[in-house]
């Protein structure tokens, strides 16, 4: 299985994740869906994801052996490596964002049906801007010129394929890299999960993907999920 050996290209779609879930039962593993724009791009908890022309909006259909929330890091690491190929320094904001230049440049959304398929969706701001999101930034804004979108996709697929292999075979190695690439460690964070909120210092990303936070001397493990994280 190679990620991207089959690519479905759409000019416009509601959401590449939604589309991928519709076709997942009938396509080979590693199939990629990429769209020029999304009319209903989504983040977690049905937050909306701005997906105008010029960005990279894509999903890959996978059939992992078991449900593993760490799949999200395959996407985040692949984005960081791709950006580095274009001279853009970035880092992971646990759990599912990639930040560059102090702003959010990409988001990862994993979904799926246990035992059947998983969809790994990535939104990366390339030649688009997101004027309605003050915290968003794009490659074009950072590089100061347009970036060849097709090359970005090519590099992203290459890195996704590599990291997916590591995730499958040596997840602890992948987590070591996540730890290295996460910029929030050592910083004060506010973690919001449903009605719960905690404030503390982010200490570590554990091998199971959770975040270790020091809350006034008490160590708390925050499990990956629909967690929002604010920095101070
Ligand atoms: C995410 O959610 O960051 C996951 C985004 C995944 C998008 C991809 S695009 C391809 C695939 N198909 C889909 O429909 N989705 C995936 P979350 O952590 O919940 O963050 C969402 C928040 O990010 C929003 O509430 C906005 O504040 C902000 N946001 C929206 N659009 C953005 C953009 N283009 N760039 C940066 N931030 C954005």
CB-based contact 221:211 (threshold 8 Å): yes
Q: What is the pLDDT of residue 213?
A: 95
82 CB less than 6 Å from ligand 1? no
Residues 153 and 212 in one domain: no
pLDDT for the residue 6: 97
Distance from C-alpha of 87 to C-alpha of 6, rounded to nearest angstrom: 28
CA distance 72 to 123: 12
Kindly state the tokens that stand for 227. 């967690």
**Which pLDDT value is given to residue 102?**
96
Q: What is the pLDDT along the chain (232 residues), one digit of tens a residue?
A: 999 999 999 999 999 999 999 999 999 999 999 999 999 999 998 899 999 999 999 999 999 998 999 999 999 999 999 999 999 999 999 999 999 999 999 999 999 999 999 999 999 999 999 999 999 999 999 999 999 999 999 999 999 999 999 999 999 999 999 999 999 999 999 999 888 899 999 999 999 999 999 999 999 999 977 778 888 8
Helix and strand numbers, DSSP H then E, in the chain: 5, 12
Cβ(32) – ligand 1 distance below 6 Å:
no
Does this model's pTM top 0.85? My answer is: yes
In the chain, what is the straight-line distance between the N-terminal and C-terminal CA atoms, in Å? 42
CATH number for the domain including 209?
2.30.30.100
Beta-carbon contacts of 57 under 8 Å, excluding residues fewer than 6 positions away, are 16, 34, 35, 36, 37, 38, 41, 51, 122, 123
The pLDDT value given to residue 194: 82
48 alpha carbon to ligand 1 midpoint, in Å?
6
Query: Considering the domain boundaries, does residue 215 fall inside one?
Result: yes
| Domain identity same for 17 and 109 | yes
- Cα separation, 182 vs 203, in Å, equals 11
Query: What is the pLDDT at residue 195?
Result: 82
Query: Exposed e or buried b for every residue in 211-229, given b needs 16+ CB within 10 A?
Result: bbbeeeeeeeebebeebeb
Q: Please give the tally of structural domains in the chain.
A: 2
DSSP state of 25: G
Same domain, residue pair 104 and 142: yes
How high is the pLDDT of residue 214?
97
Residue where a domain terminates, one of 163, 180, 197: 180
pLDDT at 25: 95
For residue 133, the CA-to-ligand 1 centroid distance in Å is: 10
Q: Report yes or no on 13 lying in a domain.
A: yes
Q: For residue 187, what pLDDT is reported?
A: 94
Atom of ligand 1 nearest to the CA of 58: 10
Dihedral of the CA atoms 29, 35, 41, 44 (nearest 10)? 30
Three-state secondary structure of 133-187: CCCECCHHHHHCCCCCHHHHHHHHHHHHHHHHHHHHHCHHHHHHHHHHHECCCCC
Same domain, yes or no, for 126 and 209? no
Tell me how far the alpha carbon of residue 33 lies from the centroid of ligand 1, in angstroms: 17
209 C-beta closer than 6 A to ligand 1: no
* C-beta of 44 in contact with ligand 1 (< 6 A): yes
Distance 13 CA to ligand 1 centre (A): 15
Please report the pLDDT score of residue 193 as a whole number: 84
CATH number of the CATH domain containing 136: 3.30.930.10
Could you tell me the residue range of the domain that residue 125 belongs to? 7-180
**Best CA proximity match to 138, nearest among 83, 177, 195, 189:** 83
1 within domain boundaries: no
């Amino acid at each position: 299985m190679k990620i991207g050996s089959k690519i479905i290209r759409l000019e416009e779609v509601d959401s590449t994740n939604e589309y991928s879930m519709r076709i997942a039962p009938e396509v080979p593993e590693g199939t990629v869906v990429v769209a020029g724009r999304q009319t209903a791009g989504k983040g977690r908890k049905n937050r909306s994801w701005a997906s105008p022309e010029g960005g990279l909006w894509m999903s890959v259909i996978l059939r992992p052996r078991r449900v593993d929330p760490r799949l999200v890091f395959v996407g985040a690491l692949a984005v960081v490596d791709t950006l580095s190929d274009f001279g853009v320094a970035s880092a992971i904001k646990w759990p599912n964002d990639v930040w560059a230049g102090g702003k959010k440049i990409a988001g990862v959304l994993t979904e799926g049906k246990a035992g059947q398929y998983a969809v790994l969706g990535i939104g990366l701001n390339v030649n688009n801007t997101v004027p309605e999101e003050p915290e968003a930034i794009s490659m074009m804004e950072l590089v100061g010129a347009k970036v060849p979108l097709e090359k970005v996709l090519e590099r992203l697929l290459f890195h996704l394929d590599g990291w997916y292999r590591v995730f499958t075979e040596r997840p602890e190695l992948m987590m070591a890299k996540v730890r290295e690439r996460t910029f929030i460690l050592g910083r004060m964070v506010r973690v919001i999960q449903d009605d719960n909120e905690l404030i503390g210092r982010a200490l570590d990303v554990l091998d199971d993907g959770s975040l270790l936070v020091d809350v006034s001397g008490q160590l708390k493990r925050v499990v990956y999920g629909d967690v929002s994280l604010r920095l101070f």
